[in-house]
Amino acid sequence: MSSNNSVAIIRKNISNYLPNELLDFRNAMEKFMAIRDNRGYNHIAGFHGAPDFYCWHHQRNDRTVLRARLFLPWHRAYLKYLEDHLRDSNTQVSQPWWDPSSPLSHSEGIPKSYTTRTISGRKNPLFNFRIFVPRSSVEGLPNITLDEDTFRDPSPSSELPEPELVDSLYEEEDFGIFSDKLEDYHDRIHVWCGGSMADVITAGFDPIFHAHHCNIDRIWWIWQLRHGNSTMPNNILDLPLPPFNYTVKDVLNIYDLGYDYATASAEVITG
Amino acid sequence: MNKMSNSNRKKTNKKGDSLSGRKVGNIFSSPPIKLNWIKEETEFYRADIEFFGIDISGPSYEGRVFLNNPKADENTGLNLENGYAGSYYIFGHGGCYGDVGHRDIKPRRTFDSRTEHDLTPAYKSMIATEPIKKILKTTKEIVISIIPITARSARMSNAKDIVYIDKIRISCYENYSKLNK
């Protein structure tokens, strides 16, 4: 693995955000969400489920030797692309990660920064998002335009998985086994969140989706640091990750993508 | 071999525990799986249950897996005594958003390595050594029941027919490190 000397972006734990960091992140999200063209949140979030359905879940083509597991690489590319556009208005912000197995999550569930409806009288952009996916109407067929707010209906926080489950993931040595186990953990969080997060069609529009997936990506990265990439099948390394201009091997090293994960981080401009 | 964690067996769901508003679909029951190849002297250190071809087009759900417990339901305790083997989780599509034909999955040739449709059924597995060893003390036939419990307020959370699985396989593994001694 190369070093992170050149990394520009530090993704931090949302529970450790300082008030000014949270304000900057919310402001950037607000601007990002207000853009309705192909630079905006509505468009890019739509790569996952409706209307584009590029997302990759579980291994496919079980009957062949390929058995491609692109769940982790595809979502890494997706998060990177979305984050680049988020930072268009403020290069100092990054996406946070949310650990649903932490003691704090077991007491408060989804982070308060995402569940507060308004901040100082203004709508909290992390609370929800208005999905708008128009479809041309066809006579005789149902209107399936999506024009709705995302919402959550979480189960009790006591039903979130324990940290020991995540610890057990790091013990796996084979990428395939690890990927399947981590994906099941990921599925469990979607089931737990309920509402828009529980449907592939709408999940990518909920702002908590990306904090959840940054955590999944973080767990994969920690696993990579421990076990490397040698158990990743060679025959998937050159597979493309549409609609992004990456192949699997392009996203194996997050330092090459320009980011890293930290519990917390701070910097000061000195010159 | 892909192994889903069985750590959720540690959950101490008591009988009568609420489902927190989550809905229960129709219970899936497998035909008997015959483990006649198990002999008395057969030793194994791990037993896995694998689920092939799980439909993912419907709602997100937790599938609670019970062995040889035809009375198992959403209120059954999640413990070895009740034959609980673990849970798997499905992040479901939530129905079809497209037009006619959007969700049709075309069959692929066996060695066609191109990527498949995003509704290609999923694969899950779990380690279930203890419950299988317990059952084998009395019978070599195992019937698997799956209680599907949907996510709250998902698009199809009121659906009933949720669990479709093409094939279930049980495999027991010898302790190779022991054989090498």
Q: State the pLDDT confidence band at A62, using cuts at 50, 70 and 90.
A: low
CB count, 10 Å around CB of A18?
11
Q: Are A242 and A54 in contact (CB under 8 A)?
A: yes
Regions of chain B short of the pLDDT cut 70: 1-18, 40-42, 103, 107-116, 175-181
Given a contact cutoff of 8 angstroms between Cβ atoms, the answer to whether A115 and A127 are in contact is: yes
In the prediction, which pLDDT does A126 show? 98
Structure confidence at residue B112 (pLDDT): 63
Residue of A nearest to B20 (CA): A155
Q: How confident is the model at residue A6 (pLDDT cuts 50, 70, 90)?
A: low
Q: What tens digit of pLDDT does each residue of B118-156 get?
A: 788 899 999 999 999 999 989 999 999 999 999 998 888
User: What pLDDT shows up at residue B132?
Assistant: 94
Query: Domains in chain B, start-ordered, CATH in brackets?
Result: 22-95+119-175 (2.60.120)
Higher pLDDT, A17 or A63: A17
Interface test with B, best of A48, A52, A61, A241 (most B CBs within 10 A): A61
- pLDDT reported for residue B9: 37
Residue B5 region by backbone torsions, left for phi larger than 0, else alpha for psi between -120 and 50, else beta: beta
The alpha-carbon gap from B37 to the nearest alpha carbon of chain A, in Å, equals 25
- For residue A190, count CB atoms less than 10 angstroms from its CB and return exposed for 0-12, middle for 13-18, buried for 19 or more: buried
Q: Six-digit token pair at B10?
A: 């540690």
Q: Tens digits of per-residue pLDDT, A231-256?
A: 998 888 998 899 999 999 999 999 99
**C-alpha to C-alpha distance for A204 and A79, rounded to whole angstroms:** 10
Residue A109 lies in a domain: yes
Give the ipTM of the model, two decimals please: 0.83
The residues in B 64-103 lying below 8 A from A, measured between CB atoms, are: 88-95, 97-100
A59 vs A64 pLDDT, higher one: A59
Q: Identify the closest residue of chain A to B22 by CA–CA distance.
A: A155
Q: How many Cα atoms within 13 Å fall on the side-chain side of residue A230?
A: 5
B12 touches chain A (CB under 8 A): no
Range of the domain at A145: 9-262
Q: A137 in a domain, yes or no?
A: yes
Q: What are A115-163's pLDDT values in tens digits?
A: 999 999 999 999 999 999 987 777 777 777 899 999 999 999 999 999 9
C-beta atoms surrounding A169 within 10 Å:
20
Residue A3 lies in a domain: no
Rounded to 10 deg, the angle between the A175-193 and A163-171 helix axes is 160
Q: A61: pLDDT confidence band, cut at 50, 70 and 90?
A: low
Place of tokens 């324990």: A162
**A99 and A162 in contact (C-beta within 8 Å)?**
no
Distance, in Å, from the CA atom of B143 to the CA atom of B168, rounded to the nearest integer, reads 10
**Contacts of residue B4 in chain A, CB cutoff 8 Å?**
180-181, 184
Token pair recorded at residue A207: 């702002």
Say if residue A58's pLDDT is above 60. yes
Mean pLDDT across A103-114: 97
Tokens of B29: 């029951």
Q: What is the CATH number of the domain that holds A202?
A: 1.10.1280.10
Task: Give the number of domains in chain A.
Answer: 1
Residue A71: closest CA among A215, A172, A186:
A186
Q: Is residue A114 part of a domain?
A: yes
Angle subtended at Cα B44 by Cα B40 and Cα B46, rounded to the nearest 5 degrees: 140
The tens digit of pLDDT for each residue in A179-190 reads 999 999 999 999
Helices A71-86, A175-193: crossing angle, 10 deg rounding: 60
